[in-house]
Chains A and B, each alone.
Chain A
Amino acid sequence: MKKGRIYTVVFMLIVSAVFTLLLAGADAFYRPKIEENDLLAERTAILYVFDLDQSGSSAEILERFEKNIKQTSVSGVELYEYASAEGETIAWAVPFTGAGLWGSISGYMGVSPDLDRITGLVFTNHSETPGLGGRIDELTYREQFRDLQITAETTLAYGEDGGGQIDAITGATSTSNAVLRILNQLLDDTISKLEVANNG
Chain B
Amino acid sequence: MAEKIKEVISRNVWKENQVLRQILGICSSLAVTNLMTNSLVMGLGLTFVTAFSSLTISLLRNAIPHRIRMIVQTLIIAAYVILVDIFLKANMTDISNALGPYVGLIITNCIIMGRAEAYAQKNPPLISMLDGFFAGIGYTVVLLIISLFREYLGFGTIFGFDANFLGFETWTIMVMPPAAFFLIGALIWITSNIFAPGKGKKS
Give complex CA distance A7, B68 in Å. Answer: 11
Q: Which of A18-26, A60-68, A180-188 is found at the contact surface with chain B?
A: A18-26
Give complex CA distance A46, B119 in Å. Answer: 50
Per-residue CB contact flags for chain A residues 28-52 toward chain B (1 = under 8 Å, else 0) read 0010011001001100000000000
For chain A, the count of residues having a C-beta within 8 Å of the partner chain is 22
Task: Using CB atoms, name the residue of chain B closest to A37.
Answer: B93
> B72, A12: Cβ atoms under 8 Å?
yes
Q: Which of B60, B79, B101 contacts A23 (CB 8 A)?
A: B79
> A11, B65: Cβ atoms under 8 Å?
yes
Give complex CA distance A158, B137 in Å. Answer: 47
Q: Which of B60, B71, B86, B90 has the most CB of A within 10 A?
A: B90
B203 within 8 A of partner (CB): no
A84 within 8 A of partner (CB): no
Task: Using CB atoms, name the residue of chain B closest to A22.
Answer: B79
> A26, B68: Cβ atoms under 8 Å?
no
For chain B, the count of residues having a C-beta within 8 Å of the partner chain is 24
> B90, A33: Cβ atoms under 8 Å?
yes
Q: Contacts A7-B65, A33-B91: A26 and B86 contacting too (C-beta < 8 A)?
A: yes
Per-residue CB contact flags for chain B residues 54-88 toward chain A (1 = under 8 Å, else 0) read 00000010111111100110011001001100110
| Complex contacts, A33 vs chain B, CB 8 Å | 90-91
A1 within 8 A of partner (CB): yes
| Complex contacts, A37 vs chain B, CB 8 Å | 89-90, 93
| Complex contacts, A134 vs chain B, CB 8 Å | 100
> B68, A12: Cβ atoms under 8 Å?
yes
A and B contact pairs by CB, cutoff 8 A, 15 listed: A8-B68, A11-B64, A11-B65, A11-B68, A12-B72, A15-B60, A23-B82, A23-B83, A26-B86, A26-B87, A33-B90, A33-B91, A34-B90, A37-B93, A40-B93
Chain A interface residues (CB < 8 Å from chain B)? 1, 3, 7-8, 11-12, 15-16, 19, 22-23, 26-27, 30, 33-34, 37, 40-41, 130-131, 134
